[in-house]
Amino acid sequence: MNEPILSVRDLVVEFEVREGNLRSVDHVSLDIPKGAFMGLIGESGCGKTTIVQAVLNLMPENGYIRGGEILFDGVDILALPPEKLRRLRWERIALVFQAAQNSLNPVLKVSEQMIDTVLAHRKMSKEKILERASELLELVRLDPQRVLDSYPHELSGGMKQRVIIAMSLLLEPEMLILDEPTTALDMISQAYLMDRLQEIHRQLGITMLMVTHDVSNVAKVAERVAVMYAAKILEVGGVEGIFYDPYHPYTKGLINAIPSIVGDLSSKRPIPGFPPSLISPPDGCRFHPRCQFADALCSQVVPEMEEVTTGHFVACHHWKRAREG
Amino acid sequence: MTIIVKRLVLAILTITVAALVTFIVIQNVPGDPLYEWAMDMVQTSGLDFETAYKMAAQMYGYDPNQPLLDRLVTYVKRLLKGDLGYSMIYRASVNQIIAKALPWTAFVVSVSLLLSFSMGVILGTLVAWKRRSILDPLVTGYASFTAATPDYVTAMLLLLFFAINLKWFPSKGAYDIGIEPGFSLAFIGNVLHHAALPILSYTLEAVGGWALAMKGAAISVLGEDYIMAAKARGLKDQRIVTSYLARNSILPLITGLAISFGAMFGGSILIETIFNYPGMGWFFSQALMRKDYGMMQGLFLLTITATILANFLADILYAKLDPRVRLER
Amino acid sequence: MRTLLRNRRAVAGAVILILYFFMATVGPILVPLKEGEPWKAFRPPSWEHPLGTDYMGRDVLAQIVQGSRDVLFVAFLAALFAILIAISLGIIAGLKGGFTDQILMTFVNMMLTIPHLPVMMILAAVFRVKDPFSFALILAFWMWAGLARAIRSQVLSLREREFIEAAKLLKLGTAHIVFKEILPNVMPYVAINFVSMMRGAIVSSVAIMFLGLAPFSATNWGMMLNMATIQTGAIYIPQALSYVLSPLLAIMLLQLGGYFFAHGLEEIFNPRLRAHE
């Protein structure tokens, strides 16, 4: 496994809401190896989007990073002064938001927004910028003639998504983070998009982090997968390890719950119970109220990450018991 | 195309209705205005009553002895020729009066609108962009205070303190009597000196309103995803505030701009009267106070037409600025 | 009720409004108008005349107090008339729909684009307003349009709701629907707007009186201003400062009170507005 290009260390993020403090990310540590295609999966509301926002220090109004570091190439992003942070954004790490369709300014043409993006970081002539933009648009299988001259509302959802992805590659970043790139797209567009992302990964060798709750898409494209639950990471490993041989009871339950076109549906089982409140989470292991292997230890002590096989980590007290049971 | 056509039709319809209603109202003045005019002329010019009455009828634009329908036809014909009537007090056609008065009103209103809009928009954007600064309560407080005060009250207070008490500004006229009109610096300076307080009256009031409106629009735009996305792309603050925030927030305000333009003509009635500034409003209030129905009618029609046209233009302007509103479909 | 008290603006506004109301109702009894003593004209404030005297030597304070009654009465009437018209037309347009609705709405749009003040002034000048009722009517004529449109949309949305369908099924009749179902739902909105309409009426009525176009009451603040500035030129006399200033400040304070109260009410009923404080 390669050296990590991005290292999240003990990150804590909270949101101030009316009912109190919502801790969306609770002492999370995650390493993303250089050149890998990593997937971060988990249910809605588990905190994965927050991690992504925190990486570029783009918290919304009521969000606060309370602790931890995010090391990129040895430098803590969270400690960067504003101008350096601005330069880092998009030049070295590009972030494609959830519902990227709304990421485009409605009153500017696509070409103008491409130009904006580049001129904020480099000096380049408009013609050159548009040339490069055209190349990238072709990479995502869009017609530059048509797209560049259009306004966002003239393009379909799927097209806008691909425009943003093309835009994200303009400055040749070292890392690309995508947050739920396939939500709000129909199945066919989703498949198409996944293929394009794989192509980009293979051709350009960019490190990719895809955050999603759509487990099946991750299985298709990712090389490494991390599983997140209730503001904590439960398991990290290679994609085959996670899908064919999961260690954590939650991961097992997750994989078991995925329906497939082939196979017996009757053996599919959802995980009983509901995700916990992040304002007052359960003590000890977050998953213990829903876990069939839980005992007194689980309800008191938070499990640490252990390496169970090479490159595969789990945070569970009784993973051995779970493998037998 | 259909939207523009519909709006145009509505505009023309409104003007027509207004013209008709004005006609009907003026026709129904209790008593006989021609009688008063005629008496006045008898006393001042020594004419006999018969002739005076006929002349009054001519100036007024109609013969009261004719049936209503004929009077209406004459009226409409006159209007289509562009003749807006005759003023009894000034013994001149309303068109002539408008030619002299309109430039002054247009000057003051345009400058006021420009100043208040630009200052308001900038303030509003700043307040929205920099959350939780001192600016917010200051601007909001100022806006509330000025919004509650009627513009003529502000005007009178300004007149009282700056023109009469402190004598920093003149209290009447568009320029001093002794100065030659022309493009000389002295003249322009003098004009500005006289126009300063009227412009201030409008502007002080309006800035608050624009700032608040812009702040509201900007805050809702700031909540949009593309602002966050723009930050993620590493765009400079300056670019985000201008091309992403302001440009999207201003759109709803543009319609308000044109509407304000029309509304200011209404406001000019009192402000110009208070400052004795010889614009459309001043002449209108003279007509009202001295019962010069011909001038009342003519000035009113012009004001209404200008207002309605301004609204119409605002709609078109908005459609042009917002690419999401399609005209040709 | 508690939220009302917690909102400082609304409370401040309410206090001011109550003071004015008090002044309008009880005031004239406490501070009666008296005949003037012309040799005392244009006096600055003193113990005997706290706000000075006018051009006829009459007490300015008494006139302001009396004037509050005139102004508030006309404004109240105007708002009342406007609301009655707006509710009637709004409900008719909303319920009947179709052609009637189209005509009414076109009419409303026209009324909204025509500038109000010049029209009201012409009407006042032509018809020589002699009493508060006709004055209020003229004012109301231009105020109902916006409210009518809002009521119509509310009616439209209410129309689709179940209890209207239920009432129709029970054949309870249009009158019942209107009075028992629609009106109660529309009332809160109307109540909030009542204060704003009164404020608008005050501004317009004072403006019209300022030009001397509705001379039925000599103590109405607008009329006072007319006498002070245009008729007697008191504005140029330094000692008569309080004479000119009093009606101005009276208007300003009343408007401020109304503004804060109306805005406070709006904030209470629409919590979204509070989100950015």
In tens digits, chain B (329 residues) has pLDDT values of: 677 788 888 888 888 888 888 777 777 766 666 666 677 667 776 667 777 777 666 666 566 666 677 777 777 777 777 777 777 777 777 888 888 888 888 888 889 999 999 999 898 888 888 877 777 888 888 888 888 888 888 888 888 888 777 777 777 777 766 666 666 777 777 888 888 888 888 898 888 888 888 888 888 888 888 888 888 888 888 888 888 888 888 888 887 887 787 777 778 888 888 888 888 888 888 888 887 777 888 888 888 888 888 888 877 777 777 776 654 33
Helices (H), chain B: 2-27, 33-45, 49-60, 68-80, 94-129, 135-148, 151-158, 185-222, 225-232, 237-239, 247-275, 280-289, 293-321
Give backbone dihedrals phi and psi of A148, rounded to 5 degrees, phi first: -60, -35
**Inter-residue contact C18 to C257 (CB < 8 Å):** no
Distance from CA of B220 to the nearest CA of A (A): 13
* Residue of higher predicted confidence among B87 and C80: C80
- The residue among A56, A96, A116 with the most chain B CBs within 10 A of its CB, best to mutate, is A116
pLDDT attached to residue C222:
83
* Residue of higher predicted confidence among A34 and C9: A34
Contacts of A197 (CB under 8 A, 6+ apart): A165, A178, A181, A208, A210, A221
pLDDT attached to residue C164:
62
Count contacts between B and C (CB, < 8 Å): 114
C112-B284-B167 Cα angle (round to 5): 110
DSSP string, A102-124: GGS-TTS-HHHHHHHHHHTT---
Give me the domains of chain B, ranges plus CATH numbers.
104-282+315-321 (1.10.3720.10)
Strand-pair partners of C68: none
Cβ contacts of B247 on chain A, cutoff 8 Å: 105, 107-108
Six-digit token string for C117: 């003040």
Question: Strands, DSSP E only, in A34-115?
Answer: 37-41, 63-72, 75-76, 93-96
The whole-number average pLDDT for the span C151-176 is: 68
Interface of B with A in 103-132 (CB under 8 A): 131
pLDDT attached to residue C169:
64
Interface of B with C in 276-315 (CB under 8 A): 284-285, 288-289, 291, 293, 296, 300, 303-304, 307-308, 311
pLDDT attached to residue C226:
82
The whole-angstrom separation of Cα C12 and Cα C260 is: 7
Radius of gyration of chain B (CA): 24
| The residue to which tokens 């245009």 are assigned | C230
User: pLDDT tens for residues C84-136?
Assistant: 888 888 888 877 777 888 888 888 888 887 888 888 888 888 777 778 888 88
pLDDT attached to residue C141:
86
The whole-angstrom separation of Cα B289 and Cα B270 is: 12
Residue A116 pLDDT greater than 50, yes or no: yes
Full strand arrangement of the beta sheet holding A20-33? A20-33, A4-17, A63-72, A75-76
Count contacts between A and B (CB, < 8 Å): 73
**Inter-residue contact A89 to A108 (CB < 8 Å):** no
What pTM does this model have?
0.77
Q: Report in angstroms the alpha-carbon separations of B244 from A25, A104, B221, B250.
A: 31, 10, 9, 11
Task: Convert A147-165 to b/e letters by CB count within 10 Å (16 or more is b).
Answer: bbebbbebbeebbbbbbbb
Interface of B with A in 239-268 (CB under 8 A): 239, 243-244, 247-248, 251
Within an 8 Å CB–CB cutoff, is residue C105 touching chain B?
Answer: no
The whole-angstrom separation of Cα C263 and Cα C199 is: 12
The whole-number average pLDDT for the span A234-240 is: 89
Q: Report in angstroms the alpha-carbon separations of C206 from A5, C21, C68.
A: 73, 18, 11
User: pLDDT tens for residues A208-219?
Assistant: 999 988 888 888
- Could you tell me the end-to-end alpha-carbon distance of chain A, in angstroms, rounded to an integer? 31
Residue of chain B whose alpha carbon sits nearest to that of C253: B149
* Residue of higher predicted confidence among C275 and B44: B44
Q: Closest Cα partner for B303 from B289, B283, B275, B273?
A: B283
* CB hemisphere CA count around A19 (13 angstroms): 6
* Residue of higher predicted confidence among A322 and A150: A150
Contact A121 B234 (CB under 8 A): yes
Residue A102 pLDDT greater than 80, yes or no: yes
Distance from CA of A275 to the nearest CA of B (A): 27
Six-digit token string for B102: 């309109």
* Residue of higher predicted confidence among A269 and A79: A79
The whole-angstrom separation of Cα B215 and Cα B199 is: 24
The whole-angstrom separation of Cα B191 and Cα B175 is: 5
| The total number of residues written for chain C in this structure | 277
| The residue to which tokens 């005992």 are assigned | A295
Q: Closest Cα partner for A47 from A273, A211, A243?
A: A211
DSSP code, position A226:
E
The whole-angstrom separation of Cα C10 and Cα C268 is: 9
Within an 8 Å CB–CB cutoff, is residue B12 touching chain C?
Answer: no
Burial class (CB in 10 A: 0-12, 13-18, 19+), B230: buried
Residue A265 pLDDT greater than 60, yes or no: yes
pLDDT attached to residue B327:
44
Contacts of A224 (CB under 8 A, 6+ apart): A32, A33, A36, A37, A38, A39, A236, A237, A238, A239, A311
Contacts of A154 (CB under 8 A, 6+ apart): none
The pLDDT-based confidence of C274 (bands split at 50, 70, 90) is very low
Residue C1 pLDDT greater than 70, yes or no: no
The whole-number average pLDDT for the span C171-179 is: 63
Within an 8 Å CB–CB cutoff, is residue A115 touching chain B?
Answer: no
The whole-angstrom separation of Cα C34 and Cα C43 is: 16
The whole-number average pLDDT for the span C175-179 is: 66
pLDDT attached to residue C227:
79
Which residue of B26, B149, B219 is in closest CB contact with C276?
A: B219
Task: Convert A217-252 to b/e letters by CB count within 10 Å (16 or more is b).
Answer: bbbebbbbbbbbbbbbbbbbbbbebbbebbbbbbbb
Percent of chain C whose predicted confidence (pLDDT) is above 90: 2
Q: How many domains does chain C have?
A: 1
Within an 8 Å CB–CB cutoff, is residue A66 touching chain B?
Answer: no
The whole-angstrom separation of Cα B121 and Cα B213 is: 8
**Inter-residue contact A309 to A238 (CB < 8 Å):** no
Distance from CA of A55 to the nearest CA of B (A): 11
Six-digit token string for B207: 């800035």
* Count of other CB atoms within 10 angstroms of residue C244: 28
CA A83 to chain centre: 25
Over chain C, what is the mean pLDDT?
A: 78
Residue of chain B whose alpha carbon sits nearest to that of A57: B232
User: pLDDT tens for residues C246-264?
Assistant: 888 888 888 888 888 887 7
User: pLDDT tens for residues C124-157?
Assistant: 887 777 788 888 888 888 888 878 888 888 777 7
pLDDT attached to residue B325:
64
Within an 8 Å CB–CB cutoff, is residue A172 touching chain B?
Answer: no
Six-digit token string for A158: 């799927």
pLDDT attached to residue A1:
56
B207-B210-B212 Cα angle (round to 5): 105
Burial class (CB in 10 A: 0-12, 13-18, 19+), A314: buried
The whole-angstrom separation of Cα C215 and Cα C188 is: 36
A65-A7-A117 Cα angle (round to 5): 75
Lowest model confidence (mean pLDDT) among A102-111, B98-107, C194-203, C223-232 = C223-232
Residue C277 pLDDT greater than 60, yes or no: no
DSSP code, position C53:
B
Quick one: how many helices (H) and strands (E) in chain C? 13, 0
The pLDDT-based confidence of A39 (bands split at 50, 70, 90) is very high
Task: Convert B195-224 to b/e letters by CB count within 10 Å (16 or more is b).
Answer: bbbbbbbbbbbbbbbbbbbbbbbbbebbeb
Question: Strands, DSSP E only, in A18-74?
Answer: 20-33, 37-41, 63-72
Q: Closest Cα partner for A56 from A110, A8, A14?
A: A8
Q: Closest Cα partner for A211 from A6, A12, A38?
A: A38
What subunits make at least 3 CB pairs under 8 angstroms with A? B
**Inter-residue contact B60 to B294 (CB < 8 Å):** yes
pLDDT attached to residue C270:
64
Contact C235 B159 (CB under 8 A): yes
User: pLDDT tens for residues C15-34?
Assistant: 888 888 888 888 877 777 77
DSSP string, B196-265: HHHHHHHHHHHHHHHHHHHHHHHHHHHTSHHHHHHHHTT--HHHIIIIIIIHHHHHHHHHHHHHHHHHHH
Range of the domain at C262: 2-275
Strand-pair partners of A313: A236, A307
Which residue of C119, C125, C259 is in closest CB contact with B147?
A: C259
Do the two chains A and C touch, given a threshold of 8 Å on CB pairs and at least 3 pairs? no
Which residue of C110, C241, C263 is in closest CB contact with B17?
A: C110
The helix (run of H) or strand (run of E) holding residue A125 is none
Residue A181 pLDDT greater than 60, yes or no: yes
Distance from CA of B31 to the nearest CA of A (A): 59
Distance from CA of B271 to the nearest CA of A (A): 39
The whole-angstrom separation of Cα A26 and Cα B264 is: 58
SS3 C12: helix
Over chain A, what is the mean pLDDT?
A: 85
Within an 8 Å CB–CB cutoff, is residue B223 touching chain A?
Answer: no
The domain spanning residue C195 has which CATH number? 1.10.3720.10
* Interaxial angle between packed helices B135-148 and B94-129, expressed in degrees from 0 to 180 and rounded to the nearest 10: 150
- The residue among A80, A103, A160 with the most chain B CBs within 10 A of its CB, best to mutate, is A103
